[in-house]
Amino acid sequence: MNKQRSAKVAKALKAVAAAQAAMTNAMDDIREIRDDLSESLDNMSDGARQGDNGQIMEMDLSALEELIDGIDGFDIKSLIEEAGQNLDIEAPDVEEARLTSEQLAERREKRLPQWARTRIENAEKARDSAIETAEKAFGEPQGEPEEFVVWRQHGPFKGKLIPTEIIEVPVLGIKLRVQPIPGMDEKTWGLEVMAGRELMIKPIASNMAFILGKDWG
């Protein structure tokens, strides 16, 4: 970017920073209105809150809170600093966002009715329980990320095993499982390959082979 364009961008960023400062002052007025409206609702009887005027005030309060949340969570500082760095322009100093995304989510959750907060809490407990069960079943991974181990028994899981007897590979139309080899010692196990089509084994090396359909070129 040439000097003329850089100067224009720098000037525009300063204007954005000035607008952000003015917006901060304006939001103080909106928060004051929000607080006044909330206090008025708190002082109303349940019957009055359920009436038309009360319902309108509830919707107004919700709209103001959403506006405040959106402004408080808007991280314009990071955007301006990133733009200045990418364009090699000195970024003007602006205020940080009032809330992080986590704090914003927490604030919004607190405004939910009790039944909704209870459902969220139960869902989070169920999620954590499922994660714990999976971690106990599969354990920590071993070897390379793409590797897996198949163990025939579904009993106590040892190490890092996938608790299954059969693995299906839909794209190839085959199923795999480890079985004793018929006609051999019962302790002699092999990889059984089942398919809905004829199979062809294509050796690649002394210790590697591809299994594919007969009609595949």
More reliable by pLDDT, 83 or 156: 83
For 7, phi and psi rounded to 5 degrees?
-65, -40
Same domain, 99 and 179: no
Half-sphere exposure for 157 (CA within 13 Å, toward CB): 17
Token output for 131: 């994660």
Q: Does 29 fall in a domain?
A: yes
pTM for the whole structure = 0.46
141 versus 138: the higher-pLDDT residue is: 138
CA distance 203 to 209: 4
Q: What is the dihedral of CA 89, 91, 97, 102, to 10 degrees?
A: 30
Residue 156 is assigned to a structural domain of this protein: no
Specify whether 11 is located in the same domain as 102.
Answer: yes
Instruction: Say if 179 falls within a structural domain.
Output: yes
Q: Which residues pair with residue 162 across a beta bridge?
A: 150
Which residue in the block uniquely carries the two structure tokens 């009790």?
Answer: 114
The answer to whether 20 and 96 have CB atoms below 8 angstroms apart is: no
Binned at pLDDT 50, 70 and 90, residue 145 comes out as very low
Q: Which of 67, 85, 111 is the last residue of a domain?
A: 111
The chain-wide mean pLDDT, for the chain, equals 79
Q: Do residues 107 and 172 both lie within one domain?
A: no
104 shares its domain with 12: yes
Residues 106, 173, single domain; the answer is no
Residues 22 and 96 in one domain: yes
Question: What are 44-87's pLDDT values in tens digits?
Answer: 888 888 898 888 998 998 899 888 888 888 888 888 888 888 88
HSE toward the beta carbon, residue 20, CA cutoff 13 A? 21
Helix (H) or strand (E) holding 211: strand 208-213
11 and 79 housed in the same domain:
yes
Domain end residue (candidates: 111, 145, 178):
111
Q: Which amino acid is at 120?
A: I
Pair 74, 171 in one domain: no
Domain C-terminal end among 111, 143, 176? 111
User: Is residue 181 in some structural domain?
Assistant: yes
Q: Report the alpha-carbon distance of residue 195 to residue 147 in Å, rounded.
A: 23
What is the DSSP-derived secondary structure letter of residue 158?
P
Provide the domain limits for residue 98.
3-111
**In a shared domain, residues 17 and 89:** yes
C-alpha to C-alpha distances, 122 to 75, 104, 133, nearest whole angstrom: 32, 21, 16
Same domain assignment for residues 19 and 98: yes
Query: Nearest 5°: phi and psi at 3?
Result: -65, -35
3-state SS class at 194 = strand
Q: Does residue 7 sit in the same domain as residue 90?
A: yes
H/E run at residue 210: strand 208-213
120-140: pLDDT as tens digits:
889 989 988 887 776 666 655
Residue 129 lies in a domain: no
| Distance, CA of 167 to CA of 85 (rounded, Å) | 51
Domain assignment of residue 147, yes or no: no
Does residue 192 form part of some domain?
yes
Q: Does residue 157 sit within a domain?
A: no
Domain count, the chain: 2
Average pLDDT score over residue span 114-121:
85
Q: Are residues 96 and 32 in the same domain?
A: yes
